[in-house]
């Protein structure tokens, strides 16, 4: 961190952050939180609240600087909060919704979310101007419905950080209503913190030269053997779209109960259902197997040095890539146990730390050389899941605030999985946003795929 008196503080991005800085221009790594309100939000209050976030979390009050001579990036912290909410009136919002209309009926909240996922202000890094990392827009739907959309560069905001931001925003709204709540100042950070690589405990991230070479070769060779969903359109420009899967409280409780009895996590069941659904979609005869890759993302905050809280903003997730042979006819829970065991064995060997550099390198190589991936699709796995879901407890005050619904996820139409699952347990119900690249996969195709995942889960608890 630069400490020159009177000069803005800055630091170079770390390796993981750099991989996101390279991925975002191509369309992967745009994090969006879309919140639906049934009452007109207090715009000055929201503006003030979001700027308090920036003051309390310097990484959100930073801008991204690109050095064209060295093709490097750095975070430069602004001396005062810069966020300005951009309002869209009913007519402007209607035009946006119309531009994203399709043959399939899609709720306005989802259309606004997709619009924001594909609004890439970081597409062409400009060395003459620092780029904002945190942006906000307020859309007025017909009647009394409003959508607040927060768009953030993923290098400074992983899923845990996005969830913390939303909880802090609700806490501030509770304060405004005169209710005692945790203040955002309690989560204040004094300066832009270190990247994840600089916080890995000594010895946990080290790997010998030959071991790294063998692992890199293994990842590279395995990638040519991986199967995927059938591609629909590999030539047209891409964007990120979502399919939302929701389950009632009864089915959710039964699924979580089965996960507990099998000593696995919901993420393993989601990944297993996706693997089975993909193989089934190809209508292979039984015993014809394919190899699929799944990626499990884990929040490393509690394992870092120093230990970071869930409200510490930044990107502190790491990925573990595991492959599975699927031949059809698999039992959901048996496969889910295999998926969970594969992930946990790797995590217990600290591969989420030791393989971090390998996966970042391969991600950047895929960006630079799309031809290294099947049909130049930039697909690196079939599915990505998060080790743990986000739990959103019921809150009666939200009804008074007019807070009706929200969806949070990140774009994947550059490099990444065929489908990324962002799961939430909300009021005891599964609410999962599946993000995918369109038209590499069509809406109809992905709706059928997600319906297949849901059907497999429901069959597993029948």
| β-strand pairing of 290-299 with 239-246 | unpaired
User: Both tokens of residue 414?
Assistant: 């550059």
| pLDDT per position as a tens digit, 83-106 | 999 999 999 999 999 888 776 789
The residues, ordered by sequence, that sit 6+ positions from 123 with a Cβ below 8 Å of its Cβ are 25
| pLDDT per position as a tens digit, 159-185 | 999 999 988 888 887 777 665 445 555
The verdict on 39 and 150 lying in the same domain is yes
When computed from its CA atoms, the radius of gyration of the chain, rounded to whole angstroms, is: 22
The residues, ordered by sequence, that sit 6+ positions from 404 with a Cβ below 8 Å of its Cβ are 36, 37, 38, 145
3 in any annotated domain? no
The verdict on 454 and 440 lying in the same domain is yes
Q: What pLDDT, on a 0 to 100 scale, did the predictor assign at position 141?
A: 93
The verdict on 366 and 416 lying in the same domain is yes
**72 strand-pairing partners:** 67
Q: In this structure, what are the phi and psi dihedrals at residue 116, rounded to the nearest 5 degrees?
A: -70, -40
The verdict on 185 and 139 lying in the same domain is yes
User: Both tokens of residue 170?
Assistant: 């609700």
Q: Which of 196, 216, 234 is the last residue of a domain?
A: 196
| pLDDT per position as a tens digit, 395-406 | 665 767 788 899
Q: What pLDDT, on a 0 to 100 scale, did the predictor assign at position 59?
A: 93
CATH number at residue 98: 3.30.559.10
The verdict on 52 and 127 lying in the same domain is yes
4 in any annotated domain? no
The verdict on 55 and 188 lying in the same domain is yes
246 in any annotated domain? yes
- Which residue range forms the structural domain that includes residue 362? 197-460
The verdict on 187 and 209 lying in the same domain is no
Q: State the total domains in the chain.
A: 2
2 in any annotated domain? no
74 in any annotated domain? yes
For residue 437, what is the enclosing H or E element? strand 429-438
Q: What pLDDT, on a 0 to 100 scale, did the predictor assign at position 396?
A: 60
Q: What pLDDT, on a 0 to 100 scale, did the predictor assign at position 205?
A: 77
1 in any annotated domain? no
CATH number at residue 224: 3.30.559.30
Which of the residue ranges 31-45, 98-112, 310-324 would you say has the lowest mean pLDDT? 98-112
Q: Which of 152, 178, 196 is the last residue of a domain?
A: 196
The verdict on 241 and 306 lying in the same domain is yes
Half-sphere exposure for 362 (CA within 13 Å, toward CB): 25
CA 437 to chain centre: 14
For residue 98, what is the enclosing H or E element? helix 90-99
The verdict on 330 and 453 lying in the same domain is yes
Q: Which of 173, 196, 219 is the last residue of a domain?
A: 196
Q: Is the pLDDT of residue 457 over 60?
A: yes
Cβ–Cβ under 8 Å, residues 413 and 238 = yes
Instruction: Give the C-alpha separation, 172 to 278, whole Å.
Output: 43
The residues, ordered by sequence, that sit 6+ positions from 47 with a Cβ below 8 Å of its Cβ are 83, 84, 85
Q: Give the pLDDT band of residue 192 (cuts 50, 70, 90).
A: confident
The verdict on 42 and 66 lying in the same domain is yes
User: Both tokens of residue 113?
Assistant: 């979310």
Q: What pLDDT, on a 0 to 100 scale, did the predictor assign at position 4?
A: 47
Neighbours of 397 (CB within 10 A): 13
Q: Is the pLDDT of residue 218 over 90?
A: no
The verdict on 328 and 398 lying in the same domain is yes
Q: What pLDDT, on a 0 to 100 scale, did the predictor assign at position 278?
A: 96
Q: Is the pLDDT of residue 17 over 50?
A: yes
40 in any annotated domain? yes
5 in any annotated domain? no
The verdict on 189 and 215 lying in the same domain is no
Q: Could you give the percent of the chain with pLDDT greater than 70?
A: 90
- DSSP classification of residue 95: H
Instruction: Give the C-alpha separation, 29 to 153, whole Å.
Output: 7
- If you average pLDDT over every residue of the chain, what do you get? 90
Q: What pLDDT, on a 0 to 100 scale, did the predictor assign at position 211?
A: 67
Q: What pLDDT, on a 0 to 100 scale, did the predictor assign at position 2?
A: 45
Q: Give the pLDDT band of residue 213 (cuts 50, 70, 90).
A: low
More confident residue, 114 or 372: 114
Cβ–Cβ under 8 Å, residues 241 and 270 = no
Q: Is the pLDDT of residue 5 over 50?
A: no
Q: What pLDDT, on a 0 to 100 scale, did the predictor assign at position 215?
A: 64
């Amino acid at each position: 961190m630069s400490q020159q008196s009177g000069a803005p503080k800055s630091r170079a991005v770390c390796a993981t952050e750099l991989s996101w800085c390279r991925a975002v221009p191509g369309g992967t790594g745009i994090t969006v939180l879309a919140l639906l309100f049934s009452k007109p939000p207090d715009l000055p209050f929201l503006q003030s609240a979001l700027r308090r976030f920036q003051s309390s979390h310097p990484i959100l009050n930073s801008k991204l600087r690109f050095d064209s001579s060295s093709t490097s990036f750095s975070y430069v912290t602004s001396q005062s909060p810069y966020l300005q909410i951009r309002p869209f009136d009913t007519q402007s919002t209607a035009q946006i919704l119309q531009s994203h209309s399709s043959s399939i009926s899609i709720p306005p909240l989802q259309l606004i979310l997709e619009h924001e996922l594909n609004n890439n202000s970081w597409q062409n890094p400009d060395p003459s101007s620092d780029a904002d990392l945190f942006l906000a827009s307020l859309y007025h739907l017909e009647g009394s419905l409003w959508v607040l959309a927060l768009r953030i560069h993923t290098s400074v905001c992983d899923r845990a950080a996005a969830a913390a931001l939303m909880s802090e925003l609700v806490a501030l709204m509770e304060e405004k209503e005169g209710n005692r709540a945790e203040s955002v100042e309690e989560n204040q950070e004094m300066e832009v913190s270190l990247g994840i690589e600089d916080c890995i405990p000594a010895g946990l991230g080290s790997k010998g030269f030959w071991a790294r070479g063998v692992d890199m070769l293994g990842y590279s060779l395995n990638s040519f053997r991986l199967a995927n969903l059938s591609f629909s359109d590999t030539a047209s420009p891409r964007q990120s779209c979502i399919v939302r899967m929701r389950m009632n409280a009864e089915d959710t409780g039964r699924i979580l109960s089965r996960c507990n009895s099998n000593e696995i996590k919901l993420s393993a069941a989601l990944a297993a259902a996706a693997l089975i659904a993909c193989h089934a979609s190809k209508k292979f005869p039984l015993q014809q197997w394919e190899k699929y890759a799944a990626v499990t993302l884990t929040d490393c905050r509690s394992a870092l040095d120093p230990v970071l809280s869930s409200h510490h903003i930044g990107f502190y997730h790491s990925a573990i890539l595991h492959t599975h042979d699927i031949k059809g006819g698999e039992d959901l829970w048996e496969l889910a146990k295999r998926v969970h065991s594969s992930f946990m064995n790797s995590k217990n060997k600290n591969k989420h730390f030791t393989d971090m550099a390998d996966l970042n390198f391969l991600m950047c190589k895929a960006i630079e050389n799309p031809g290294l991936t099947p049909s130049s699709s930039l697909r690196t796995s079939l599915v990505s899941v998060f080790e743990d879901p986000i739990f959103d407890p019921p809150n009666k005050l939200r009804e008074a605030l007019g807070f009706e619904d929200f969806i949070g996820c990140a774009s994947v139409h550059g490099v990444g999985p065929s489908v990324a699952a962002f799961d939430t347990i909300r009021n005891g119900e599964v609410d999962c946003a599946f993000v995918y690249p369109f038209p590499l996969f069509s809406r109809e195709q992905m709706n059928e795929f997600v319906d297949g995942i849901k059907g497999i889960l429901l069959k597993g608890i029948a």
